Structure 1
């Protein structure tokens, strides 16, 4: 079947974005995940801005938040996955601040992008409870990584940081979900576009993992 102009445009956009992000992931695997140059926020404004920035300047975090919004639309389950992920990320930050360790956080974060990209690429996704549970596990690791930027901060900057990263994650997830909904994910053409995006995100996750193993 000959691709429609709409599908061709979507494919070009996804491919272009994937190539750009993959290049950044491979060329700069140690890209700073910490706003303000790694300094611990000292006031509520810095804490909030740092929270807003962390999920965005960390390409692995950003990719996961986007793909989970797309997957939520593809599975027709509303915003349950982005909300679950965000709450779990808050819990993961709490684990870090309590001094509890999670194994191989950067590897698990990269693997989560790969896994959820694969889920999005599948014609038939796994059962919703399984995917939501995995989103919660991923959230713990992403949140654990977020916690590194706020260790040692006072309560004011700390709560502002948590509010900042929870807010930006939900905004990005909702935007991705809304854009995916506009593709009519239940239609053949819309589902195909989202599956193609899933392959791109899976490749991006593989690029992140490669950056860890071969850094």
Structure 2
């Protein structure tokens, strides 16, 4: 048993107690955040103006903790693969498509479960010692984007054209900004003189703990 624990610590770069504490802290924070993440960014009211739609679009990926963690994870994963810049582009594009499916009243199954699973899988890929496969990361971003975007669509159904367009613009801009900032930060950290090889793995542990909590709450 001791040798297994030593192996885990060597693989992760963190001791086992640190990993356990991290998961506990993340789970506790998520327990507080769950009531907020389940709510509509505009309090359940349909946006009536361009500004309301834009602000609602900006807010949804941020107050939705599951969305936020995945968007950040997309950027971090992108930094670890070849031509990674296109990974956030794929995600943002399919998120728009997912919202379109919701607006067309297409029924997609198990949306919250798959969103939660996407957070967990992104964390596993980040936490692995091996470099993630580019195709796997791109497919994850694309498929997850459809479901995250579908969830965004719930907040704007019934709105008129102006707030609808503004909402789409808002959540596209905020997701692109967050994921590309995460992408750039990870690149800078990797190339800096104080580069920490455990940076992405640490982020992965947070995403894994979060994904597990989200999955537990989605059933």
TM interval, short-chain normalised:
0.7 to 0.9
Aligned 1:1-215 pairs, distance under 5 A:
21-31=26-36, 32-184=38-190, 190-213=196-219
Segments of structure 2 that go 5 or more residues without pairing to the other structure are: 1-12
What is the TM-score when the length of structure 1 is the normalising length?
0.85
TM-align CA RMSD: 2.4
Aligned length: 201
* Cα displacement (A) at 1:104: 0.8
CA distance in 2, matches of 1:85, 1:186: 27
- The 8 Å contact of residues 21 and 204 in structure 1, kept in 2 or not, is answered as yes
Superposed displacement of residue 142, structure 1: 0.1
- For residue 122 of structure 1, report the CA deviation from its aligned partner: 1.2
Deviations 1:122-156 (A, max 9, x none): 12244212220121000000000000000000111
Displacement of 1:20: 5.5
| Conserved 8 A contact 1:73-1:185 | no
Runs of at least 5 residues in structure 1 that lack an aligned partner in the other structure: 1-6
Shift of 1:26: 2.4
Which has the higher mean CA deviation after the structures are superposed, 188-197 or 159-168? 188-197
C-alpha distance in 1 between matches for 2:177 and 2:165:
18
Q: TM-score, normalised by structure 2?
A: 0.83
Compared CA separation, residues 97 and 49, structure 1 to 2 (3 A):
same
Structure 2 equivalent of residue 4 of structure 1 = none
Report if aligned partners of 1:95, 1:144 keep a CA contact under 8 Å in 2. Answer: yes
